[in-house]
């Protein structure tokens, strides 16, 4: 089991370009595959999770040419996918299995999908129930609640669906199924979640309507191919942003990072805590906004993090918790129960790790309460097979008084393989 040991560092200085956004990278492959023609992508996320999506669509008969972070997808149109000869393996990628289930539900053939031990424990009925309601025949462990799943799709009907919990993955799966339904499919969320799928489909020519927390899609569109430089991943950049805030004398610039308003909850929270963050040079491409983010070291104060901002920050909560461990006062995180069904139970994992760093932290049913302190003590902590937990604890280790070892760091490869290289390039 791979481990990484770090020591207290002075500061972070310089600039870097984060890897391509993982959520967007998944979607560009999927939507490029059902577009009418050739899609060209640059700055594609090169993590293991996105590779699983590439391999999945290659198994569905799509030609995908890869050259580093440059990818070309030869789309075959809405009905051009072919029945796979083998079971699709999503590895550890929840995005792959959940979104592709929506697409496969619209195909007039049989398919099956599985994943690794972690993915096999993650709930899927939130996807399979609405897809069954649209007419797909889906079976799997626990009455379709766990992979492996078998899917026989085709002849879908539009639905009106109320999401019990805001989830971009569930919303996207239903939207992708809605492409194959004769009529208008409607999804309503309790609060808005990330909207990359809607933005991309709209830029490709699909009929998308948004009204407050409801989104509607009309079936059977002709989807245009596209060329796209994928924005830098703010979820990956978040670790270096927090590192720069916590290490005195730091000053970094993150270039061309995605600043979609439904993904920038991390910046809003850190600013509320007192962080010195400036967003400059905004640009837009394929409906997605990018900008440069300037970060300087700052003193933080505890805040309450709850409500609508949680879905916009859900992947960044582990590193927000590290920032809170250094903030004056107590930070309370609520309404984040979704963290319990990620790659691991992130609430429990963060609480256990912070306690080892000597932090006073209380586990709540849907979050945690963290009392900040001036300095952490070095520790040996476990990632529980979760890439974001591993990276968050490495950042914590840079601020700790003694040596820190993070155990089981191999999962970092799923989203940010260049994490340590990027971090080392900025450390002084």
Cα 79 from chain centroid (whole Å): 28
The DSSP bridge pattern shows strands 110-114 and 88-89 to be parallel
Annotated catalytic residue within 233, 315, 386, 408: 315
Long-range CB contact pairs, 131-134, < 8 A, 24+? 131/101, 131/102, 131/105, 131/173, 131/174, 131/177, 133/159, 133/161, 134/105, 134/158, 134/159, 134/174, 134/177, 134/178, 134/181, 134/185
Which pair of tokens denotes residue 361?
Answer: 């932290």
H or E element, residue 184: strand 184-188
Q: Which residues contact residue 81 at a Cβ distance below 8 angstroms, ignoring those fewer than 6 apart?
A: 33, 34, 57, 60, 61, 62, 103, 107
* 315 noted as active-site residue: yes
Could you give the C-alpha distances from 410 to 64, 349, 357, 389, in angstroms and in order?
A: 26, 17, 21, 12
Query: How many CB atoms lie under 10 A from the CB of residue 54?
Result: 20
For 284, the 3-state DSSP assignment is: strand
Which pair of tokens denotes residue 360?
Answer: 């006073």
Q: What is the DSSP string of 78-122?
A: TT-----SS-EE-TT-HHHHHHHHHHHTTSSSEEEEE--TTGGGS
Alpha carbons within 13 A on the beta-carbon side of 165:
15
HEC sequence for 218-245: ECCCCCCCCEEECCECHHHHHHHHHHHH
The DSSP bridge pattern shows strands 380-382 and 404-407 to be parallel
The catalytic residue positions are 315
């Amino acid at each position: 089991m791979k481990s990484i040991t770090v020591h207290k560092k002075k500061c972070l200085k310089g600039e870097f370009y984060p890897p391509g956004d993982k959520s967007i990278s998944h979607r560009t492959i999927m939507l490029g595959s059902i577009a009418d023609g050739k899609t060209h992508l640059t700055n594609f996320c090169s993590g293991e999770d996105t590779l699983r999506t590439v391999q999945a669509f290659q198994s569905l008969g799509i030609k995908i040419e890869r050259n580093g972070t440059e990818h070309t997808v030869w789309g075959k149109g809405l009905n051009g996918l072919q029945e796979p000869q083998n079971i699709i393996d999503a590895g550890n990628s929840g995005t792959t299995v959940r979104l592709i289930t929506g697409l496969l539900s619209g195909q007039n053939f049989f398919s099956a999908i599985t994943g690794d031990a972690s993915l096999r424990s993650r709930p899927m009925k939130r996807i399979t129930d609405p897809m069954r309601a649209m007419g797909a025949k889906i079976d799997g462990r626990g009455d379709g609640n766990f992979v492996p799943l078998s899917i026989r799709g085709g002849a879908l009907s539009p639905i009106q669906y109320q999401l019990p919990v805001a989830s971009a993955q569930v919303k996207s799966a239903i939207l992708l199924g809605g492409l194959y339904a004769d009529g208008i499919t409607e999804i309503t969320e309790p609060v808005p979640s990330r909207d990359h799928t809607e933005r991309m489909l709209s830029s490709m020519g699909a009929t998308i309507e948004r009204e407050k927390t409801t989104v509607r899609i009309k079936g059977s569109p002709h989807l245009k191919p596209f060329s796209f430089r994928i924005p830098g991943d703010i979820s990956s950049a978040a670790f270096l942003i927090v590192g720069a805030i916590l290490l005195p004398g730091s000053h970094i610039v993150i270039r061309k990072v995605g600043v979609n308003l439904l993904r920038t909850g991390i910046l809003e929270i850190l600013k509320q805590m007192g962080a010195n963050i400036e967003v400059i040079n905004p640009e837009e491409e394929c409906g997605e906004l990018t900008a440069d983010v300037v970060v300087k070291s700052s003193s933080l104060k505890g805040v309450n993090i709850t409500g609508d901002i949680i879905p916009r920050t859900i992947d960044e909560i582990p590193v927000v918790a590290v920032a809170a461990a250094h903030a004056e006062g107590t930070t309370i995180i609520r309404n984040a129960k979704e963290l319990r069904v990620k790659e691991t139970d992130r609430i429990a994992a963060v609480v256990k790790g912070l306690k080892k760093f000597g932090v006073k932290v209380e586990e709540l049913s849907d979050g945690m309460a963290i009392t900040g302190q001036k300095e952490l003590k070095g520790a040996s902590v476990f990632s529980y097979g979760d890439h974001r937990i591993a990276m968050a604890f490495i950042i914590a280790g840079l601020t700790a008084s003694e040596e820190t070892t993070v155990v089981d760091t191999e999962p970092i490869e799923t989203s940010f393989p260049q994490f340590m290289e990027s971090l080392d390039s900025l450390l002084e």
